[in-house]
Every structure is written in C-alpha cells, then in structure tokens.
Amino acid sequence: MRTGRWYLGLSLLACATAAQAEDGYRLWMRYAPATASQTADPVTVRGEQTPMLAAAAAELRRANPAGLGPVMLAHANDPAVTALRLPVATLGDEGYLVRSVTIDGRPVTLVTGTDRGILYGTFALLRHLATGAAPTRIDLTSRPRVGLRMLNHWDNLDGVVERGYAGRSLWDWWTLPDYRDPRYTDYARANASLGINGTVLNNVNAKVESLTPRYIAKAAALADIFRPYGIKVYLSARFSAPVELGGLKTANPKDPAVAAWWAAKSDEIYRAIPDFGGFLVKANSEGQPGPRDYGASHADGANMLAAAVRPHGGIVLWRAFVYADTDPNDRAKQAYDEFKPLDGQFAKNVIVQVKNGALDFQPREPFHPLFGAMPRTPIAPEFQITKEYLGFATHLAYLAPLFSETLTADTHTRGHARVSQVIDGSLDRHRLSAIAGVANIGDSRDWTGSSFNQANWYAYGRLAWDPSLTPQAIAREWAMQTFGTDPKLLDTVVAMMMASREAVVDYTGPLGLAHLMATGHHYGPGPWVADLKRPEWNPVYYHRADAAGIGFDRTKTGSKAVAQYAPGLAKLYADPKTTPENELLWFHHLPWTYRMASGATLWDTLVQHYDRGVATVDTLRTQWQQTKPLVDPERWQKTDEFLAVQAREARWWRDASLSYWMSLNNLPLPAGSPPPAHDLAWYKAQTFPYPPGNPQ
Ligand code: BDP
C-alpha cells in the first residue's frame, strides 16, 4: 500500500513537473494536452487532400482546442461552401474566412479560402482560441497586405550565424539533405502560424558554394519540408559566382556569357526546386562584389539576374544597403543618391530591399528616405529582428514599436502616404510587394536565445501580414499564447514589453544619436572610437560632439540629407524646433546649452534620458519579480538573470557615455544624477574578445 501510494505521489509529481516544464521550444504554440471530453478527430477535409490541407489538419489535430467541436477545411469553391454564399470573393490567394456555420444540418467551424488561405485560417483560428475567444460563433476573415513576407537568415555554411545570438544555424548543412531534422518542420509551422511565406537560407555576405549542386540539393530538401507550410526558399547570390564557380573571366552583367551562366544556373536550381523564390543580392557593399565593379549600375546587375529567374516565375530582391569609403558624402545619403536615379529602370520582377533607416538598424532611426521616393519600383523594407544593436539576446527589447514606427511613418509624399502604403504596393499599384526581417533564429532550444526575443519573431510576422496592427495588441496576444492568460501576468508582461525598446534607446543613444557602439561586436558603448580605417565606421563620425555641441548637421548648412525627404517633411526636419525630439541630433548639431521645448538644456535632457533608461530597466526587473508565481521556473529564471545583466549593462552604457560626453563638454551632471562608477579610461579599456555573431 505504502509503496503504491508513494508511486502514485511520484507520478503525480512527475506529471505536474512535466506540465509545468517549459523550455521555450514550443514558442507561442503551446497546445494543451488533450482531455477526455475533446472531439476524437476534430477535422474533416473536403475535396482534394493536398499537402497543405494535410498540414493544416495535422495542426488542428495536434492542438485539438477544448470545446471547439468539428472543424471543416474546404476550398472556397467547394459546393458546400458556395451554397453558404459567404463573402469569399475578396480573399485573394492567401486570405481566409473562418466561421461557425451549419452544413448538412450539422454545426461546424468552417475554414475556407485557397490552400494557403485554409492553412493561415487554421492558425488564425488556433490563435483566436488561445487568446481567449469562445469556440462558438467564430467569424474571422483576413488577407495579407504584403505579398512576400520573408525571413532573411544570415546563416553561413559553416554554421555560424552573422549577428546571430541564439546558437548556431538551424540548418545543419552537413547532414542535409539526408537527415531531415524534425525541427525544420517546427520552424515551418511557426512561420506558417504567422503567415511568413518565404525564407532566404543563407547570409547576404554569400559564399559561392551555396550555388553548387551539393548545396542546391540541401536547399531543395529544406524547400520540400517547407512547401506544405506555404514557405518558398530563396538564396543569397554572390555576384561574382560566374567567375568563381563558372570559370568565366568576368561577372560583368552586360556580358552575354555571364547572363547565360546565370540563366543556366537558375534552370539548374529550378530543376531541383520548382518553386524556388529567387535571389537576394548584396552587391557593392562592405566588400561584396557587384555590377559597379564593371562600371554597370545596380539596375543592370539586378535585371540580368531577374532575366535568369523570370522564365520560372522567380524574383530578385536587390539590396540598397550601399555606401562607399571613397564617397565623402554623409553615409546616410548614399543609398538614396545611388538608387533614386534608377527608378523606372528595374525589371518587373525586381524588388529593391531597403533597410528601415538610412544607416544601419539602430535602436532608432528616421525612416529611410527611399520609401516614397521610387514610385516606379517596388520597395521592400528590411528590418533586423536579431538585435545586433539592441543588446543581442540578453537585453529585453520588444521591437514591434520600432517596426511599427517605420511602417506608420508619414512620408509626406502624394498626400500623406504612410511607409506601409509604399511597401504594400497600394500607393503605386505594384503587383509585387515584400517585407524582409533578418531572422533571430538559431539552434538554441528556445530558438531565439530568450523568451522575449520570440516576441520579435512573432511581431515581425504579424506586422508583415498586417502593418496596421498595434504593437500593444501584438504584445498581448503573444504573451497570452506564450505565458498564459492570467490578467495580472499579461498586464505586467505587456507593460514591460512596451517600455523596453525606448529604454534601450535611452541608455544607448537618446535624442537621435546613432552608431555609438564599440567596434565589431556592436554590443557595448564606444562613442569615443575614432581609429577605424573607414571614417563612417567610427562613432565620432556620427555624433560629432566637441566642447561646444553634439549631433550631425544634415540640414542645408551640413550634409543636406534632409533634402532627400519629401518637401513637407524636409521643411520640418530643417528646423530643430519642428524636428521630433527623438530624432533631434540625427538632423542637427546643437550647442550643449540649446534650450529644449521643456526649457531644460540639451545636456540636462540628454542626461535625463540616460537616467530614465537605467531606471526603466530597474522597473522591468521589479515587474518581472511580480510574475514569479505565474510563470514556469525555467523561463522565469532565465529572463530574471538576463534582466540583471541588462540592468548592469544599462548603467555601463550610461556611465561610459556620460563620462565621454563630460570629457568633451566639461559640464556637471544635473542635480540628483549619480556620477559614473568609473573614469573614462576604465570604460575605454574594456575589451570583449569572441562575442557571438561577429564575423572574425
Ligand atoms: C550590418 C552588419 C553586418 C551586415 C550588414 C548588412 O553589421 O554584419 O553584413 O549590416 O546588412 O548591420 O549587409
């Protein structure tokens, strides 16, 4: 008896632990274990059982949400659906309609659309239920605003992820194509749940080997796994491949032999991957080869590749992230200067991919002036989901406010068009539209290196589907699915998320300062760095601080970058009084004693921001403490320890930055603001060999 009870007790304990053990692997798809009262098989699939419908049905069976009752997956043209006269005409290729209906006298939840629509509708239904909706009287309908919703993996073939902070590459190139890690399927499920429909497998700093038959076969294996989840694969292409792989003397895009090489290469890829998406290209940027090496333009290069994939329905995503040390111009102006004149010259299947800001994924940048400036060219924004400049995986920084800030920005072109209207193609009636996010995914058990980093993958996907969703609403639905539905927990977690990005801005570079990070790894502070070989790699190039003032003058007395914006906006940016305060020093060089709208000096205001950043992180820690009884121990503990790191490092950022600014301006700290913990020499002496994600 005693032994029996002991066993029972132990197994109950084991169950409880198993139920509570969470390592983050399941992301936001934490389906509850089935209970006896649930429908044995909740799904019927009408019509042809395509692989995509099978994937959708499998997901429903896996989730088997409590109380849902029977679900029917049926194409919008199925007679059972047409008989219902539902508003399916506007769903397009990917939209869905999910509704509680009666078919043959039986109540069912109908998920309808195309194959893809049904897949996305299935995930929308599961999200709807996981975020607290009642399983009866369901009525959901949505279609994506942007056509190509892509992840860009900066994964190298040796498994190192450039700017990756979540372990090594998820792609085990060595064992592919023979071993198909089940994790690849889980990756596809997670992306499909958000509506992501394309993935670039390899780094934009591309190695030519990814275009060899050996690696094409590996990419084909991944494409096979992703296909039922609606995800196409793309490859980053190295422009010099015809020379390095093909043995040609040149990669000049105007040379017919070069064009023929790419056409043959494309044919070869499409034989292995019939629905291959196309190429992403980083050309003539940071040492990458490109058409400029041959006196040809970016349009010449892009169009030559576009012609190669065009017969197969492929596209080319050509990056506008270009700047040259030979160009004395403000680096933030160079992409616009080079690309704007090419508007109208790109082939129909080319999309120009533009970083959200003109510099490089900073915690805050004004939106890139190319948005709205190339009406004859589809423009895709590129966001960085991985937090190269926002504290890697350790710091909590919820990025939806950053993404959304760009997407909702008023371009002041053609009325007050938002960036989202430019990039979704609606403003200029483009057939193609795309959005790209540099992935934060690696092989770490929780995929992204921290629980809260999962929210950035999630938020990117949700905004790619619908750029008008609010960061707050996305945070709440993510938190509900990730941590649970307790209202106190949700309020706390959402409040933490919503404050977090601004905190990072505050302690790293407030009021429009940018690129103040230390060399190479971009993790800690280095505003003093002035010795790198290219001027525009040095923080001093960006802040231009001296005894008298701080900031980069981009007005007509400076680099004139303001003139790249539409006249209405350029006018606002031209005057410090009408420039948004959070972008002030991006556009203006001002005296330390400049009076802000509040009446306080610029210096005192700057210090207040640093102090506020540190204080906000302290608050995040306190808030997280309150969640302890409501979150499973494993995820709670890791987050708690990371927040302690962030609190320490926010102080480090503040103290190092203030020490440096004070060494220039000799001003005292405002009353109540504590002195830095160390002197400037100490901060300058800190080194961090072998940081993750940093190409060596
Ligand atoms: C910078 C990164 C670098 C990337 C580059 C790019 O530091 O690793 O290769 O962007 O986007 O932010 O190409």
Q: Is the pLDDT of residue 99 over 90?
A: yes
Our answer to whether residue 338 is catalytic in this structure is: no
CATH classification of the domain holding 523 = 3.90.1330.10
Q: State which of 450, 474, 498 marks the end of a domain.
A: 474
Q: What is the pLDDT of residue 44?
A: 95
Mean pLDDT of 580-607: 98
Angle between helices 400-407 and 471-483 (to 10 degrees): 150
Which among 388, 438, 696 is the best mutation to test ligand 1's pocket, defined by most ligand atoms within 8 Å of the CB? 388
Q: State which of 108, 142, 176 marks the end of a domain.
A: 142
Q: Which residues of 562-600 are buried (b: 16+ CB within 10 A; e: fewer)?
A: bbbbbeebbebbbebeebeebbbbbbbbbebebebeeee
Find out whether the beta carbon of 321 lies less than 6 Å from any atom of ligand 1.
Answer: yes
Provide, rounded to the nearest whole percent, the portion of the chain with pLDDT above 70.
96
Q: Is the pLDDT of residue 9 over 70?
A: no
Q: Are 225 and 282 in the same domain?
A: yes
Our answer to whether residue 536 is catalytic in this structure is: no
Pick the catalytic residue from 300, 360, 424, 446.
360
Model confidence over 27-53: pLDDT tens digits?
999 998 877 666 678 899 999 999 999
Q: Are 383 and 426 in the same domain?
A: yes
Mean pLDDT of 466-479: 98
- List all residues 6 or more positions away from 264 whose beta carbon is below 8 Å from its beta carbon: none
Q: What is the pLDDT of residue 17?
A: 40
Pick the catalytic residue from 115, 365, 388, 655.
388
Beta strands 232-236; 278-281: pairing state: parallel
Q: Pick the residue with more confidence: 534 or 337?
A: 337
Q: Whose CA is nearest to atom 10 of ligand 1?
A: 360
Q: Is the pLDDT of residue 79 over 60?
A: yes
Q: Are 418 and 372 in the same domain?
A: yes
Distance 694 CA to ligand 1 centre (A): 10
Q: Are 423 and 359 in the same domain?
A: yes
Distance CA 166, CA 578 (A): 41
Q: What is the pLDDT of residue 38?
A: 66
Q: Are 72 and 220 in the same domain?
A: no
Provide, rounded to the nearest whole percent, the portion of the chain with pLDDT above 90.
92
Distance CA 275, CA 283 (A): 24
Q: Are 91 and 160 in the same domain?
A: no
In this prediction, residue 310 has a pLDDT band, given cuts at 50, 70 and 90, of: very high
Q: Is the pLDDT of residue 20 over 50?
A: no
Find out whether the beta carbon of 205 lies less than 6 Å from any atom of ligand 1.
Answer: yes
Our answer to whether residue 360 is catalytic in this structure is: yes
Q: Are 179 and 102 in the same domain?
A: no
Question: What does the DSSP 8-state code read for residue 469?
Answer: S
Q: Whose CA is nearest to atom 9 of ligand 1?
A: 205
Find out whether the beta carbon of 521 lies less than 6 Å from any atom of ligand 1.
Answer: no
Q: Are 76 and 199 in the same domain?
A: no
Q: What is the pLDDT of residue 41?
A: 84
In this prediction, residue 521 has a pLDDT band, given cuts at 50, 70 and 90, of: confident
Q: Residue 573 falls within a domain, yes or no? A: no
Q: Are 171 and 102 in the same domain?
A: no
Q: Residue 571 falls within a domain, yes or no? A: no
In this prediction, residue 8 has a pLDDT band, given cuts at 50, 70 and 90, of: very low
In this prediction, residue 146 has a pLDDT band, given cuts at 50, 70 and 90, of: very high
Q: Are 289 and 376 in the same domain?
A: yes
CATH classification of the domain holding 280 = 3.20.20.80
Pick the catalytic residue from 23, 286, 491, 641.
286
Q: Is the pLDDT of residue 262 over 80?
A: yes
Mean pLDDT of 116-137: 96
CATH classification of the domain holding 121 = 3.30.379.10
Model confidence over 334-378: pLDDT tens digits?
999 999 999 999 999 999 999 999 999 999 999 999 999 999 999
Distance 199 CA to ligand 1 centre (A): 18
Find out whether the beta carbon of 663 lies less than 6 Å from any atom of ligand 1.
Answer: no
Which among 360, 368, 438, 515 is the best mutation to test ligand 1's pocket, defined by most ligand atoms within 8 Å of the CB? 360
- Of 7-16, 62-71, 378-387, 560-569, the range with the lowest mean pLDDT is 7-16
Q: What is the pLDDT of residue 634?
A: 97
Q: What is the mean pLDDT of the chain?
A: 95
- List all residues 6 or more positions away from 186 whose beta carbon is below 8 Å from its beta carbon: 25
How many structural domains comprise the chain? 3
Find out whether the beta carbon of 145 lies less than 6 Å from any atom of ligand 1.
Answer: no
Parent domain of 639: 506-552+589-685
Find out whether the beta carbon of 153 lies less than 6 Å from any atom of ligand 1.
Answer: no
Q: Are 137 and 160 in the same domain?
A: no
Model confidence over 228-260: pLDDT tens digits?
999 999 999 999 999 999 999 999 999 999 999
Q: Residue 624 falls within a domain, yes or no? A: yes
Q: Are 369 and 309 in the same domain?
A: yes
Find out whether the beta carbon of 163 lies less than 6 Å from any atom of ligand 1.
Answer: yes
Distance CA 390, CA 693 (A): 13
Distance 371 CA to ligand 1 centre (A): 20
Q: Is the pLDDT of residue 327 over 90?
A: no
Q: What is the pLDDT of residue 19?
A: 43
Find out whether the beta carbon of 554 lies less than 6 Å from any atom of ligand 1.
Answer: no
Q: Residue 696 falls within a domain, yes or no? A: no
Q: Residue 494 falls within a domain, yes or no? A: no
Q: Whose CA is nearest to atom 11 of ligand 1?
A: 321
Find out whether the beta carbon of 462 lies less than 6 Å from any atom of ligand 1.
Answer: no
Q: Residue 566 falls within a domain, yes or no? A: no
- Of 92-106, 179-193, 320-334, the range with the lowest mean pLDDT is 320-334
